Structure 1
Amino acid sequence: MREDVLLLQTLLFVLLSCQSDSSSSSSVVVAGYNVSALAGSKVVLQCVSGRMVWTRDRVRDRQRVVHWDMYRDYPDYAMERVVDMFSAGDQRLYSAHNLNRVGLNPTSFKDGNFSLVIKDVTMKDRGLYSCNLHHLYCHLYETVRVQLNVTKSRRKEQSFWDGQKAVFVVLLGKTVVLPCVNRRTVWTDWSNEEEDQQVVHWDRQPPGIRHDRADRLVDLYASGEQRSYGPLFLQRKMNISNQAFSEGDFSLTISDLQSTDQGMYSCHLHHHYCGLHERREFRLTVEPPPVRSTEPSKVLPGKDKDTTKAESPRVINVIPDERNHFLLPLGYVLTSLLLLTFIILIIILVTRRRRAKEFYPKASMRSNRSGNSLEEYEIDVSEVNVCSRKERRFDYKNNLLKENTHVNAQPKLVDLDKEMQKFSK
């Protein structure tokens, strides 16, 4: 009975482990496309990813790096780099004060322990520390923060979690270890067979076939190995570039399309080392080529020609344009300019005449006044003559009065020029 129970537990453990592995390695659909092309043509199903580019260098130590930074509350929340270390084990300190006093475990990238060791703690060491892990190859970034406070009392020495970070209160002059542990294989394992963990494969689902029963077309590994499946003619018409991992382009090229090639194509990108599992789907539709009519072309009436007779050559006379063809528009332009100049000249003369009248109003007044004065003088002289004639008819009893009347009756001579000058003044 016990053996049966143990056997059942073992089977359950195996099933659960298999399910967890399959769920972790299952790819996630990140894009879907509908592609249509004519039968007999060539189509390219584009599948590009920069994260799958093979960028590991020869030294293999510049892909992973850990560095510790410290943030001070004074002055002005300054930040400074404490130490950094690459996966090869080389450490670099940024302050002479920390020499032989601050450091990391040389085997950090093997055991996953990136804790910072600070000996002989001083008041200058207090602040907020951050442990930063960078994986340049897998594009991974992780950060752990630790608060360090320094005290002179043993009673205040403690360590606790404030809900966001670990806080250490350390006695002045003691040694402290700021924890930063990450034992994921991506930080600790660098396999020599990593290229076997990086693979791209294409699948094809004919219409009506489920995804789990799709046909495998091609597998491509980072080591350069390529495996094609199916008949030989199918392998020749579907291929991927040999430089796919160096360029990150895993597009599938299909030549001489036929109606049997349509269906659902999927590009699977797996990077087991970095935990990358993506899938891109392409629904390919093959359209029939355009139909070409086999009926003879109809000839319009009156256009029947005997094709057996050779046509006589046609002579086309080309009459060159006149060299002086530009004179006609030039004449139009000159005539328009001359007419415009004449109109402007007339406008200028009229405006000057009006301005002259506005600046010399006395001259016009004088001419009007001179005409009126002449008429007035003529009227006065005539009136004087009439009056003198009337006065002569009177009979005077006294000779003295009569003499005076004779003297006054004489016409008065008036110089019009002088009078005009006086009047104008």
Structure 2
Amino acid sequence: MRTFWIFLSLIILFPLSDVSHNNITALPGENVSLPCQVSNMNFTVLNWSRSDLLPQYVFMYKDKKPSSENQHPSFKGRVELAAKHMKDGNISVILKNVTTNDSGTYTCEIIWNRTKLREIISRVNLQVQPGPKAGHKRDGVRILILSALVVLLGLVIVILALRNRKINAEEEPC
């Protein structure tokens, strides 16, 4: 019996599978793939989480479909499987329109069919750098157009003022 407990302790402390670690940097407004890959698709639940969130589920797949049960509100409608049918063991997710609030460490975890044991497959450290958002390019074009209109209006005012001065000069007798 003692051998069993030692073996169990070793498995818990030094799991048989290697947990994949990834670092990803993104800019606000980008869509980001959080990678996770398994070779055995015999699991009942896929869970992507971030430990600093309550509820902490970013994305859950159970009963052979995505579930929004206990999903953190800031991720609703922004997370989906990268491969719709998890082809070739790809259980990565796409996080859409990221913001600096999305920075953190994400964990990909599965629960196995037979044993109901949880296994962490991947950890992804996402860092969203403060910077221009996707819509800022349009804002720059708007500013350029507005500046051009202001310059054009200024030219019209100067031309009208010069024309008015010329007319007044012609009307005055010398």
TM-score range for the pair, normalised by the shorter chain length: 0.3 to 0.5
Q: What TM-score comes out, normalization by structure 2 length?
A: 0.43
Q: What TM-score comes out, normalization by structure 1 length?
A: 0.19
Which structure is richer in relative contact order (CA contacts within 8 A, separation 6 or more)?
Answer: 2
